[in-house]
């Protein structure tokens, strides 16, 4: 059976790291990234680690304190990744919140306190 390939977008930082590791370990860049993916899958399926519990915590269904140390590390890594590269839906939500906040600030009437600050 012929092997099929897919194209994915990866950060240049990840590709550069994979290039360095691949050279050291005599792998192709794709082979190195596949190796890392297999390792990640193995860790997620390891005894004492539940990626499902991490997903539940990310969804707010489980408290962080209920996770083991490795699960907490995975939780914070996933949370950090979400902040670094938010989904288009999340970006749209942030934009909507920002627009609502701007409108709310623009619609405020001056109070006696803000008038005093402006006069000073």
Q: Quick check: is 25 in a domain?
A: yes
Q: Quick check: is 60 in a domain?
A: yes
Q: Check residues 97 and 46 and name the one with the higher pLDDT.
A: 97
Who contacts 31 (Cβ-Cβ below 8 Å, separation ≥6)? Answer: 22
DSSP state of 46: S
Contact 98, 92 (CB under 8 A): no
**Amino acid 116: pLDDT:** 56
Would you say residue 16 has pLDDT above 90?
yes
Cβ-based burial of 67 (10 A; exposed 0-12, middle 13-18, buried ≥19):
buried
Instruction: Please give the residue range of the domain that contains residue 40.
Output: 13-119
Cβ-based burial of 57 (10 A; exposed 0-12, middle 13-18, buried ≥19):
buried
**Amino acid 13: pLDDT:** 92
Neighbours of 61 (CB within 10 A): 9
* DSSP assignment string, 56-111: HHHTTSS-GGGS-HHHHHHHHHHHHHHHHS--HHHHHHHHHHHHHHHHHHHHPPPP
What's the domain count of the chain? Answer: 1
Q: Quick check: is 6 in a domain?
A: no
Q: Quick check: is 102 in a domain?
A: yes
Average pLDDT over residues 80-103: 80
Would you say residue 1 has pLDDT above 80?
no
Average pLDDT over residues 97-105: 84
Q: Quick check: is 7 in a domain?
A: no
């Amino acid at each position: 059976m012929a092997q099929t390939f897919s194209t994915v977008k990866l950060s240049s930082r990840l590709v550069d790291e994979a290039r360095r590791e691949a050279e050291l370990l005599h792998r192709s860049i794709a082979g190195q990234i596949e190796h890392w993916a297999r390792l990640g899958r193995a860790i997620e399926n390891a005894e004492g680690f539940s990626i499902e519990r991490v997903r539940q915590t990310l969804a707010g269904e489980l408290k962080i304190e209920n996770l083991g140390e490795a699960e907490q590390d995975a939780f914070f890594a996933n949370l950090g990744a979400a902040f670094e590269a938010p989904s288009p839906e999340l970006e749209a939500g942030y934009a909507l919140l920002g627009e609502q906040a701007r409108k709310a600030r623009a619609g405020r009437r001056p109070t006696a306190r803000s008038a005093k600050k402006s006069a000073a």
